Homo-oligomer: A and B are copies of this chain.
Amino acid sequence: MEINQIIDNIYPLTSISKDLIKASIVEMKFPKGHILFKANKIEKSIYFIKKGIARAYAYSDDNQITFWFGKEGDPIVSMQSYVNNEKGYEDVELLEDCELYELKTEQLQKLFLEDSHIANWGRKFAELEIIKSEKRLISLQFENATQRYLALLNNYPSLLQRVQLSHIASYLGITQISLSRIRANLK
Contacts and interface: CB of A to CB of B under 8 A. Distances in A.
B131 A67 contact: no
Nearest to A122: B123
A137 B128 contact: no
A126 interface: yes
Given A65-B141, A83-B128, A142-B65, A123 B112 contact: yes
A137 B67 contact: yes
A58 B142 CA distance: 9
Copies of the polypeptide in the assembly: 2
Classify chain A's interface size. 20 to 34
Interface in A24-62: 58, 60
Interface string A117-128: 001101100111
Contacts of A8: none
Given A120-B112, A120-B113, A123-B122, A131 B80 contact: yes
A173 to B, nearest CB: 5
B130 A129 contact: yes
Contacts of A119: 116, 119-120, 123
A113 B116 CA distance: 8
Contacts of A80: 131
A175 to B, nearest CB: 13
A13 interface: no
Interface string A129-142: 11101101110111
